[in-house]
């Protein structure tokens, strides 16, 4: 089994430098870090985490709490988080809460029992007062989520801006009956997106959108069911914003089955820029969320907080999303006819 000395020799660096890289010391150049990582990979060197843990009170492990792994948005986010953590010498462990308050607490308990150095939460199930008690034991940051009263760093997308942008685009093209599918109201981001959407509608003096609003819609099957409801409406919407691409795909598949033309009869916009949006006919217009930037910033921030032992700091890191124009968004014949 290779030792830290073997790594130093192969990398052509001192034992102290290698040790600094292993312990995530701030004053080591990226070049030296890469040399050490390359040598470690070549030798199959594994730092003895028990000894390391005793020495510096660290486990080298960061936990990410996510509601559901099978959601493609989250699996994409986790993939980048893991690669970033790894490049900084941390192991990432992923914990699925399944939206359960109790599971969230059990995983947060890993901080208390010193099994992880820090926690990244991608959603919040308990009241913040419950989460806050864990901040006595280590750093917690929010990624893709924000909570008003939380004294922690928050890395998130400006969803209000995003909801406003998509609504504004549709309104400017003459749509007035715009359906809106939301995955759920528990997340702050989801609420903000809806608020952005509504404020654009209010600016355009449109107020009676209750009948076009659908909650807890997040799968292909949900989208298919929603379309059945739309189809039976007296004044069916001419456009629809789906909170997830899977929902948009469900809407479109059901619409086509029932002889509707997309976008001829209904303009559809999804969210998340998933691969499937390019494979379906018509290709689905979607909103790109800056997942990679958000993941990188989250790892940078949690590492800093672990290193500085700062457990209660308020910080806002906000990013913007972008609309991708595709077939499902263009040439709505209802509008051509009425405008």
Q: Report the interface residues with a copy of itself, using CB under 8 A.
A: 40-41, 44-50, 53, 59, 61, 63, 68-70, 72, 75-76, 78-79, 82-83, 86, 91-96, 98, 100-103, 105-107, 109, 112-115, 126, 130, 219-220, 246, 249-250, 253, 256, 275-276, 278-281
CB-based contacts of 80: which residues, under 8 Å, 6+ apart? 291, 292, 295, 296
Question: In terms of Cα–Cα distance, which of 332, 317, 325, 331 is closest to 155?
Answer: 317
> Cα-flanking dihedrals φ and ψ of residue 214, to 5°?
-125, 130
Between residues 42 and 310, which has the closer beta carbon with respect to a copy of itself? Answer: 42
* Tokens (6 digits) for 251: 């809407």
**Shortest Cβ distance from residue 337 to a copy of itself (Å)?**
27
Residue 339 CB, nearest distance to a copy of itself (Å)?
Answer: 31
Nearer to a copy of itself by Cβ, of 115 and 151: the residue is 115
Q: For residues 21 and 40, which CB has a smaller minimum distance to a copy of itself in the complex?
A: 40
At its nearest, how many Å lie between a copy of itself and the CB of residue 334? Answer: 23
* 224 contact partners, CB below 8 Å, separation of at least 6: 250, 251, 253, 254
Nearer to a copy of itself, 91 or 191 (CB): 91
Nearer to a copy of itself, 24 or 82 (CB): 82
Report, in Å, the least distance between residue 277 CB and a copy of itself.
Answer: 11
Q: Nearer to a copy of itself by C-beta: 16 or 75?
A: 75
What is the spatial distance between Cα 243 and Cα 211, in angstroms, rounded to a whole number?
17
Token pair of 279 as six digits = 């494979």
- Minimum distance from residue 248 beta carbon to a copy of itself (Å): 10
Strands 322-324 and 285-288, bridge-based pairing:
antiparallel
Strand order in the sheet with 178-181: 213-214, 178-181, 239-242, 267-271, 285-288, 322-324
3-state secondary structure of 271: strand
Smallest gap from residue 330 Cβ to a copy of itself (A): 18
């Amino acid at each position: 089994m290779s030792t830290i000395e073997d790594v130093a020799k192969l990398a052509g660096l001192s034992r102290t430098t290698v040790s600094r890289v292993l312990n995530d010391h701030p004053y080591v150049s990226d070049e030296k870090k890469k040399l050490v990582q390359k040598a470690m990979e070549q030798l199959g060197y594994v730092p003895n985490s028990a000894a390391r843990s005793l020495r510096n009170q660290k486990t080298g492990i960061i936990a990410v709490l996510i509601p559901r792994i099978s959601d493609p948005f989250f699996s994409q986010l986790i993939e980048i988080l893991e690669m970033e953590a790894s490049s900084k010498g941390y192991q990432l462990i992923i914990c699925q809460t399944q939206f359960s308050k109790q599971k969230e607490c059990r995983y947060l308990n890993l901080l208390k029992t010193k099994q992880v150095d820090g926690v990244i939460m991608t959603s919040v199930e308990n009241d913040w007062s419950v989460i806050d008690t864990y901040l006595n034991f280590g750093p917690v940051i929010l990624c893709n989520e924000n909570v008003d009263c939380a004294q922690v760093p928050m890395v998130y997308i400006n969803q209000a801006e995003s909801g406003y942008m998509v609504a504004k685009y549709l309104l400017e093209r003459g749509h007035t009956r715009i359906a809106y599918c939301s995955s759920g109201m528990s997340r702050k981001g989801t609420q903000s997106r809806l608020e952005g959407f509504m404020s654009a509608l209010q600016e355009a003096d449109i107020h009676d959108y209750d009948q076009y609003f659908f909650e807890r819609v997040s799968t292909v099957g949900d989208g298919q069911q929603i379309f059945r409801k739309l189809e039976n409406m007296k004044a069916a919407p001419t456009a629809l914003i789906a909170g997830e691409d899977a929902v948009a795909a469900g809407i479109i598949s059901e619409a086509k089955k029932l002889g509707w033309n997309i976008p001829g009869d209904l303009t559809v916009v999804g969210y998340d820029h998933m691969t499937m949006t390019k494979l379906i006919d018509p290709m689905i217009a979607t909103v790109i969320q800056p997942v990679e930037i958000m993941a990188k910033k989250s790892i940078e921030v949690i590492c800093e907080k672990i290193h500085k032992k700062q457990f209660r700091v308020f910080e806002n890191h906000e990013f913007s999303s972008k609309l991708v124009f595709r077939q499902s968004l263009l040439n709505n014949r209802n509008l051509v006819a009425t405008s």
